[in-house]
Amino acid sequence: MAGLTVEIVYSNAMYLAAKEVDLLFEVRDELKLIRDVFKENPDLKEILCNPSVVIAYKRKLIDKIFKNNTIDICYNFLNVLLNKRRLYNFEGIVKEFNELVSHNEGISKGVIYSVRPLTEDRIKAFEKETENLLKTRVKLENELDATLIGGVSILVEGKLIDASLKSRLRGLSQELLNE
């Protein structure tokens, strides 16, 4: 719970700062690139998050990698996270920040669960169907769930649309038990 609070506090601060200087979407894109750098270089993130590594060394790494390669607000944000020893929360902060930007755009984020990965075209088709049902713009992320057996299950802002074979079988089972 404490981690989530940290992520919400820092993402809100970044959101307000980016909005104030009218760089909301640029910051979103930069944060994604920084997150990708950390994903592609897990040793870098490990060094930056390791409490036994001297902060001066970490600062030099951030300067060398990000100072001239990111916009100032993102570079400054990395330094704030470093100084506050919150870099290990970076991914969660970015996730929360992206949620805030999506909400600002009027987009509801959701997850579409499937047994196999869905193509972009399939995801777009499900987004359109979900938008028609919920009467709001929707952006879906595909996650795999082998327990579904087949079909899909969509979760958007606490609303579940379950078109999985698993739920159909469960419903049939209930009907048979009630007969």
Q: Classify domain 2-103 by CATH architecture.
A: Orthogonal Bundle (1.10)
Q: What kind and span of H or E run contains 69? A: none
Cα(113)–Cα(140) distance, integer angstroms: 10
Q: What residue type is assigned to position 164 of the chain? A: S
Average pLDDT over residues 106-114: 88
Cα(62)–Cα(47) distance, integer angstroms: 11
Helix then strand count (H, E) for the chain reads: 8, 4
pLDDT digits (tens, 9 = 90+) for 12-67: 999 999 999 999 999 999 999 999 999 999 999 999 999 999 999 999 999 999 99
Please report, for the chain, the start and end positions of each structural domain, with discontinuous segments joined by +: 2-103, 107-178
Cα(62)–Cα(60) distance, integer angstroms: 5
Task: Pick 107-178's CATH classification: 3.40.30, 3.30.465, 3.40.50, 3.30.450.
Answer: 3.40.30
pLDDT digits (tens, 9 = 90+) for 128-172: 998 888 888 899 999 998 888 788 888 888 888 877 767 666 776
Q: What's the pLDDT band for 108 if we cut at 50, 70, 90? A: confident
* 63 Cβ neighbours under 8 A, 6+ residues apart: none
**Nearest Cα to Cα of residue 112 among 137, 140, 131:** 140
Pairing of strands 107-114, 137-144: parallel
